C-alpha cells in the first residue's frame, strides 16, 4: 500500500538567539485511506513538520537529519524539478494562513486552473469547468461567477475554501492539511470534512491533519500524535487517546476545553508557555508545566516508550509501557491553574441581573452596510451588494453577545461597521450608540477618543500586524496614540505585563510577526487590543487560530477583564464550545440578517429556527466523559 513515512526527522532554524531545533527526531507513517492527526500547542513544531515534508522550509531552515519517503523514494533527495511534480500532484497541502497562500494579483479561478494545468492534462474550458466543480464541492456559493474574483474580495472562510479546492484539484494521493477548517463555520467545516471522508473512500486519500480542534480529530482520525516542543510525546489510536490519554500534557489539554459545563468558572489552562527551542534540554521538556513533575524528570530526557496502544514519552511509564514504577515520589503536584485570573472565586455572572437591567453599553438599530457595485470598460458594472441588512442588537455593560453564523453571512462586516473601519469603502446607515453617542456620526477628536474605548481583534492576525514592526513597537503604538498620559516607562511596563498575560515569553517583544506561528500572532493581536483598556472589544474569531490550552488562557483573561472592569464583548465566532462558555446572549446571522437572538441558554438548547438547528447539529463533539476511561 502507498505510504508516506517520516523517520528521525530533524529540522533546525538559524535565529537571532541561536539555532532553533524546531523538530527533534520525529517519526510518523501515513497510509492511503487513513487520517493521522498531529496536535499540540502553537509553537510546538506542527506546521514546521508540514513544511519540512513538502520541502517548503523558510530560508533560515534546513533538514539536518532523517528521511521522508513516499513509496520508498526519499523526497529529501529529489532535485527540485522532480519535487515540483510531487508537490501538488501526489501530495497536496492546505496552508494555515489562506491569506498568504493565495496570490493577491491572480483571480481565484486562475489559481485553481494553474494547479490543474501543472498536474493534469486539462486545459482551457475543461480546466475552468473542473475548477468550478471543486469550488462548489468545498462550499463556495455561486462559484462560476466568483472565478474572476480576487482574494481580497473573499471572507476568511471563503479564502480557506479556495485554498482547499486548490490542494484537492489535482486529486493527490496524500493531503497535508494545516488547520484546514480553522476559518470555517461549523456547517462548512462539516461539509469539508465530509468531502475529505468521501475522497478517502473513493480514492484512498491519505490525510495528515494538523489541527488544534480535538473534536475534529475525534471524528476524523484513526491515529493521533501529540507534539510538544519539537518532539512527539504521545502517539496512539484516536480511540485510546480520547478514552485514556497517558501523557500528563494530553490530560491537561482535554481538561482545558470550554463548554457549558465550565461556565462561570475559570478553565484549567496549562500554566506557563512552550519553552524556547534555541538550546539544549537536560530533562523532560514539559516538566516545568507538569502537575505530576518529579525530581527524576530532570535527570535526563525521557525516551518514547512503547505502550499497548501506542507510545508515550514520560518517566511515569516503565520501559514496557506500564504506568508507575519509576521509584521516585512527585516533588510538585499542583493542579492546573487558570492563566492570569488572580481571584478565581469571582463569578463573572454575579451581578448579571444588575448589568442587564441598565441601559446597554452598545445599542445598534437597523445597521445596513451596502457596497457599491464595481465595473469598468472591460466588464459590466455589478449591482450594489447589501452585506448587512437592518441588523439590530444590543450589549449591556459587562456582558458578551456572541454573533454566530456561516462564513460570508456578514458577521465580520457588522463588527467593522460598528468600530468605523468601513468609511470610504461602503455605505453604512442606521444607528450604533455607544454610551449614548452614535458611533456612525463621530468625527475628528471624538472619533479618536472612541478608538480607546472600542477596540477590535481581527480575524486574520497575519494581515493585521505590521511585518516591519517588532512586537513591542506594535503594542506601544496604540498607547502612544490613545493613552498619551502614559510616559515611556509606564508604556514599557504595561506592554511587558500584557505579553505575559497572553501567554508569550518576554523575548517576544523584540521579534517581528513572521517569527511567530499563527496562534502566537493571534495572541499578539489580542494584547494590542487590550493595551489601551477598552470598554468594548469586537472579537472577530479571536480564538480560531489558538490551540485549546492557549484558548483557555485567553478566555480566562477575557473573563477576568469582564469581571474586574465590566468590559463588554461582541464575540464573533463559529466555535460553539466557546459560545457555550463565554456568551450571555447569542445572535444567529444568516445572509446579512439576524435569524434568531436571545439568551445563550435558550438559543443553544431550544433553537427556534431550522437554520439554527442545522448550525448546532453540525458541531463536532468530543466523546463524553463517561466514554473515557477514568484516570
Q: pLDDT tens, 171-198? A: 999 999 998 887 677 888 888 888 888 8
Report which of 402, 521, 528, 437 is spatially closest to residue 475, judged by C-alpha positions: 528
pLDDT computed for residue 624 by the predictor: 58
Range 208-214 average pLDDT: 91
630 — pLDDT class (breaks 50, 70, 90): very low
Q: What is the pLDDT of residue 22?
A: 92
Sheet hosting strand 91-94, strand order edge to edge = 91-94, 174-178, 206-210, 35-40, 223-228, 231-237, 310-312, 305-307
* Whole-number pLDDT of residue 500: 87
The pLDDT of residue 280: 83
Answer whether 533's CB lies under 8 Å from 561's CB: no
- Distance CA(397)–CA(505), nearest Å, equals 32
3-state secondary structure of 546: coil
Over the stretch 580-624, which tens digit does the pLDDT of each residue have?
A: 999 999 999 999 999 999 999 999 999 999 999 999 988 888 765
3-state secondary structure of 25: strand
What's the mean per-residue pLDDT of the chain? 86
The answer to whether the Cα torsion of 88, 93, 96, 99 is positive or negative is positive
Strand-pairing partners, residue 310, are 236, 307
Q: How high is the pLDDT of residue 377? A: 58
Would you state the pLDDT for residue 237? 94
Q: Which pLDDT value is given to residue 329?
A: 35
Rounded CA-CA distance 386/66 in Å is 54
277 SS3 class: coil
Instruction: Determine what percent of the chain falls in helix, strand and coil, rounding each to the nearest 5.
Output: 40, 25, 40
How large a percentage of the chain has pLDDT more than 90? Answer: 56
Give the per-residue pLDDT at 285.
Answer: 93
555 backbone dihedrals φ, ψ, rounded to 5°: -65, -40
- In the predicted structure, residue 627 carries a pLDDT above the cut 50: no
* Lowest-confidence pick of 108-117, 148-157, 383-392: 148-157
Contacts of 269 (CB under 8 A, 6+ apart): 256, 336, 337, 338, 339, 549, 552, 553, 556
Q: Which of 6-20, 215-229, 617-631 has the lowest mean pLDDT?
A: 617-631
Q: What is the four-CA torsion angle of 310, 311, 317, 320, rounded to 10 degrees?
A: 70
Q: Residues 138-163: what's their mean pLDDT?
A: 88
Which of the residue ranges 22-31, 45-54, 355-364 would you say has the lowest mean pLDDT? 355-364
Beta strands in 238-357 (DSSP E): 305-307, 310-312
DSSP-derived pairing of the beta strands 35-40 and 231-237: unpaired
pLDDT band at 331 (very low <50, low <70, confident <90, very high): very low
pLDDT given for residue 406 in this prediction? 86
Question: Do 596 and 588 form a contact (C-beta atoms < 8 A)?
Answer: yes
Q: Residue 336: what pLDDT?
A: 38
Say if residue 157's pLDDT is above 80: no
419 three-state secondary structure = coil
Question: Quick one: pLDDT at residue 584?
Answer: 96
Amino acid at each position: 500500500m502507498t505510504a508516506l513515512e517520516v523517520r528521525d526527522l530533524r529540522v533546525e532554524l538559524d535565529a537571532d538567539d541561536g539555532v532553533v531545533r524546531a523538530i527533534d527526531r520525529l517519526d510518523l507513517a501515513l497510509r492511503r485511506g487513513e487520517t493521522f492527526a498531529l496536535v499540540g500547542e502553537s509553537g510546538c513544531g506542527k506546521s514546521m513538520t508540514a513544511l519540512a515534508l513538502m520541502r517548503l522550509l523558510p530560508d533560515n531552515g534546513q533538514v539536518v537529519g532523517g528521511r521522508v519517503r513516499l513509496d520508498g523514494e526519499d523526497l529529501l533527495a529529489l532535485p527540485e524539478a522532480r519535487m515540483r511534480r510531487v508537490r501538488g500532484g501526489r501530495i497536496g497541502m492546505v496552508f494555515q494562513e489562506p491569506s498568504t497562500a493565495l496570490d493577491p494579483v491572480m483571480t481565484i479561478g486562475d489559481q485553481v486552473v494553474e494547479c490543474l494545468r501543472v498536474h493534469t492534462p486539462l486545459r482551457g474550458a475543461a480546466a475552468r469547468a473542473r475548477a468550478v466543480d471543486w469550488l462548489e464541492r468545498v462550499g463556495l456559493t455561486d462559484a462560476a461567477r466568483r472565478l474572476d474574483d480576487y482574494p481580497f474580495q473573499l471572507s476568511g472562510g471563503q479564502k480557506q475554501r479556495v485554498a482547499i479546492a486548490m490542494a484537492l484539484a489535482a486529486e493527490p494521493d496524500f493531503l497535508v492539511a494545516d488547520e484546514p477548517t480553522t476559518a470555517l463555520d461549523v456547517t462548512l467545516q462539516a461539509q469539508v470534512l465530509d468531502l475529505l471522508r468521501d475522497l478517502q473512500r473513493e480514492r484512498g486519500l491519505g490525510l495528515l491533519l494538523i489541527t488544534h480542534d480535538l473534536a475534529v480529530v475525534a471524528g476524523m482520525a484513526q491515529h493521533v500524535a501529540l507534539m510538544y516542543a519539537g518532539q512527539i510525546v504521545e502517539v496512539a489510536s484516536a480511540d485510546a487517546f480520547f478514552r485514556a490519554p497517558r501523557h500528563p500534557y494530553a490530560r491537561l489539554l482535554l481538561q482545558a476545553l470550554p463548554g457549558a459545563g465550565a461556565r462561570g468558572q475559570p478553565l484549567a489552562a496549562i500554566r506557563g508557555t512552550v519553552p524556547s527551542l534555541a538550546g539544549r534540554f537536560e530533562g523532560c521538556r514539559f516538566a516545568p508545566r507538569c502537575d505530576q513533575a518529579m525530581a527524576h524528570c530532570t535527570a535526563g530526557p525521557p525516551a518514547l516508550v512503547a505502550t499497548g496502544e501506542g507510545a508515550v514519552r514520560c518517566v511515569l511509564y516503565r520501559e514496557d509501557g506500564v504506568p508507575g514504577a519509576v521509584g521516585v515520589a512527585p516533588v510538585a503536584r499542583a493542579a492546573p491553574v487558570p492563566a492570569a485570573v488572580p481571584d478565581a472565586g469571582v463569578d463573572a455572572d454575579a451581578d448579571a441581573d444588575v448589568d442587564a437591567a441598565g441601559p446597554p453599553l452598545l445599542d445598534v438599530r437597523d445597521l445596513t452596510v451596502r457596497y457599491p457595485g464595481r465595473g469598468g470598460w472591460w466588464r459590466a458594472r455589478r449591482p450594489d451588494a447589501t452585506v448587512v441588512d437592518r441588523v439590530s442588537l444590543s450589549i449591556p455593560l459587562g456582558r458578551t453577545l456572541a454573533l454566530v453564523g456561516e462564513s460570508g453571512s456578514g458577521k465580520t462586516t457588522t463588527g467593522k461597521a460598528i468600530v468605523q473601519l468601513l468609511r470610504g469603502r461602503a455605505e453604512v446607515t442606521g444607528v450604533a450608540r455607544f454610551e449614548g453617542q452614535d458611533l456612525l456620526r463621530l468625527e475628528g477628536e471624538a472619533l479618536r477618543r472612541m478608538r480607546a474605548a472600542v477596540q477590535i481583534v481581527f480575524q486574520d492576525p497575519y494581515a493585521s500586524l505590521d511585518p516591519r514592526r517588532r512586537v513591542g513597537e506594535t503594542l506601544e503604538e496604540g498607547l502612544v496614540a490613545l493613552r498619551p498620559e502614559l510616559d515611556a516607562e509606564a508604556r514599557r511596563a504595561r506592554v511587558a505585563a500584557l505579553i505575559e498575560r497572553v501567554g508569550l515569553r518576554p523575548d517576544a517583544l523584540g521579534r517581528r510577526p513572521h517569527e511567530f506561528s499563527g496562534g502566537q500572532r493571534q495572541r499578539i493581536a489580542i494584547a494590542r487590543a487590550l493595551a489601551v483598556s477598552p470598554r468594548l472589544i469586537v472579537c472577530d474569531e479571536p480564538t480560531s487560530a489558538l490551540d485549546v490550552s492557549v484558548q483557555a488562557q485567553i478566555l480566562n483573561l477575557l473573563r477576568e477583564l469582564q469581571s474586574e472592569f465590566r468590559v463588554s464583548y461582541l464575540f464573533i465566532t463559529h466555535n460553539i464550545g466557546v459560545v457555550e462558555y463565554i456568551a450571555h446572549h447569542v445572535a444567529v446571522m444568516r445572509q446579512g440578517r439576524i435569524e434568531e437572538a436571545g439568551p445563550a441558554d435558550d438559543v443553544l438548547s431550544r433553537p427556534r429556527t431550522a437554520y439554527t438547528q442545522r448550525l448546532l447539529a453540525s458541531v463536532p463533539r468530543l466523546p463524553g466523559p463517561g466514554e473515557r476511561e477514568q484516570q
